[in-house]
Amino acid sequence: MAKKTALVQGNEACAHGAVYAGCKFFAGYPITPSTEVAEVLAAELPKVGGSFIQMEDEIGAMAAILGGSLTGAKALTATSGPGVSLKQELIGYACIAEIPCVIVNVMRGGPSTGMPTGPGQSDVMQARWGTHGDHAAIAVAPESIQEIFTETVRAFNLAEKYRMPVQILFDEIVGHMRERIEYPEPGELEVIDRAKPDVSPEDYKPYDSSKGDIPPLASFGSEYRFHVTGLNKAADGFPTTKPDLVDAEERRQIRKVEANRKDIEKNEEYMTEDAEVLIFAFGSTSRSARYAVNELRKEGIKAGLFRPITLWPFPEERIAALGKQVKGMVVAEMNLGQMIYEVERVTKGSCKLEGAFRVDGEPITPAQIMEKVKEVN
C-alpha cells in the first residue's frame, strides 16, 4: 500500500512531525514566520487528545510548555528570533531543572524586529549561548520539508531521552516553501518517551544520578511528589550551596550531552571523499551549496559539501579531520559570520577559510558560493 503523500509547507510539516512524535501540548504566541506551526496544531492536537493554548506573550508560552512537560506531556512552542530572545530565561530554567521540551525557531532577519518576512540564519549562536551560565545545548537544522518532519520527531526524542530543551532551527525559506512529503507510517520512525522512575514514591529523588547522568522524571499529578527549582539543588530537588554538589550537578548536565555526541550528532556529506575545497552550509543555504558543488565539479574544481544537521553540539571531530584534508573551506550562512568561528576554532588554521555571508533578506546563491570557493582553491 502506497504511503500518504502531500504538498505541504515546512511549518505544516513541523506541526505534523510533532503530532507523530507524540506531542500533546502546544503553547505559543503568533509571530512571523512561524505562525503556521501554531495554526496547524490548534486544529490537530485536539484530534489526538492534546491541548493548544495561545498565551499572552512569548514568556508565558515558554513557561506554559515547561509546566505541561512536568505533568508528563510532550510539549512544544514555536516562534522566531525576538520571541526566542524573550524565552531565554525560561530556556535556562529548562536546562537547570532538566525539563524536556522542544522550541521551534523559524529564523528571520534581525536584530530586534529586523525583517519579519525575510530569511536569516543569525540565531545559531543564540541557540547555543542565549541563556546565561554553563549549560549544554542541542539544536538541529533541517534543510527540506521532509527533513523538517523527521527532525521534529528526532528533536522530541532527544529532548525526552536527555531530559532537556531542544531547539529546531530552520529559516523562513524552508518554513514557507512547499515540497512533496511522504508521511511515514506509525512505528516507522522511532519515538522515544522519557524514562520513568522504578522506585516507590517515597524513595523517588528527581535528580538522583546514582544510576546514570539522566535521572528518570516522574509526572506532576501522579503519585510522585517532588520539588523543582531554578537554583542549584541536591538529588531531592531542594536548593543547595554546597560546592561539591553544585560542581557535580553542573558537570553532569554538560556530560550527558558531551558523552553522547555519537548519538546526538547527525551530518550529511556530499562529495567529500576527494574534495579539495569544502563548503560548510546548513538549512536552505545548503541547497545552494549542493548546486554549487555540482557546477564546480563540471569546471574541474573538486568541491564538497558538509552539512551539519545537528548544529549543537558542533561536529568538532569531523570538521577538524576535513580541515586537514582540504586546501580551503567556505562557510556559507545568512548572517555576517557565526558558525565560521566554530569552524575556525576546530580547524586551527589547517586550511584557508572564507565566509560567504548575506543579510539583505535574500538567499545566498550558488554563484556567490562558487566565487568564494575559487578564492580559496
pLDDT computed for residue 211 by the predictor:
82
**Has residue 138 been placed in a domain?**
yes
pLDDT computed for residue 146 by the predictor:
98
Q: Is residue 132 located within the same domain as residue 33?
A: yes
Please say whether the dihedral angle defined by the alpha carbons of residues 33, 177, 174 and 11, taken in this order, is positive or negative: positive
**Has residue 19 been placed in a domain?**
yes
pLDDT computed for residue 3 by the predictor:
81
DSSP state, residue 48: G
Helix (H), strand (E) at residue 266: none
pLDDT computed for residue 377 by the predictor:
87
Select from 369, 297, 313 the least CA-distant residue to 346: 313
DSSP state, residue 192: -
* Cell numbers that stand for 59 in this block: 514568556
What CATH number did the domain enclosing 10 receive? 3.40.50.970
Among 143, 159, 182, residue at a domain's last position: 182
**Has residue 129 been placed in a domain?**
yes
Averaged pLDDT for residues 296-300? 97
Among 149, 182, 215, residue at a domain's last position: 182
What are the tens digits of pLDDT across the range 207-237? 999 889 999 999 999 999 999 999 999 999 9
**Has residue 87 been placed in a domain?**
yes
**Has residue 148 been placed in a domain?**
yes
Select from 260, 279, 307, 234 the least CA-distant residue to 370: 279
What are the tens digits of pLDDT across the range 315-367? 999 999 999 999 999 999 999 999 999 999 999 999 999 999 999 999 999 99
**Has residue 252 been placed in a domain?**
no
**Has residue 232 been placed in a domain?**
no
Q: Is residue 368 located within the same domain as residue 272?
A: yes
Range of the domain at 77: 5-182
pLDDT computed for residue 57 by the predictor:
97
Instruction: Give the rounded distance of the alpha carbon of 342 from its chain centre.
Output: 17
Strand pairing report for 277-281 and 267-270: unpaired
pLDDT computed for residue 20 by the predictor:
98
Among 159, 182, 205, residue at a domain's last position: 182
Please say whether the dihedral angle defined by the alpha carbons of residues 160, 166, 170 and 171, taken in this order, is positive or negative: positive
Name the phi and psi angles at 85, rounded to 5.
-60, -45
pLDDT computed for residue 272 by the predictor:
97
pLDDT computed for residue 316 by the predictor:
97
- Cell 554549487 belongs to 292
Mean per-residue pLDDT of the chain: 96
Strand partners, 261: none
What CATH number did the domain enclosing 340 receive? 3.40.50.920
Q: What percent of the chain has pLDDT over 70?
A: 99
Total domains present in the chain: 2
Helix (H), strand (E) at residue 167: strand 165-171
Residue 1 has pLDDT above 70, yes or no: no
Q: How far apart are CA 313 and CA 373, in angstroms?
A: 26
Residue 147 has pLDDT above 80, yes or no: yes
Instruction: Give the rounded distance of the alpha carbon of 101 from its chain centre.
Output: 11
Q: How far apart are CA 111 and CA 178, in angstroms?
A: 27
Asked whether 192 and 154 are in contact (CB, 8 A), the reply is no
Select from 349, 366, 314, 325 the least CA-distant residue to 141: 314
240-to-174, 235, 237, 255 alpha-carbon distances in Å: 45, 10, 9, 20
Task: Report the predicted TM-score, pTM, of the whole model to 2 decimal places.
Answer: 0.96
- Radius of gyration for the alpha carbons in the chain, expressed in angstroms and rounded: 21
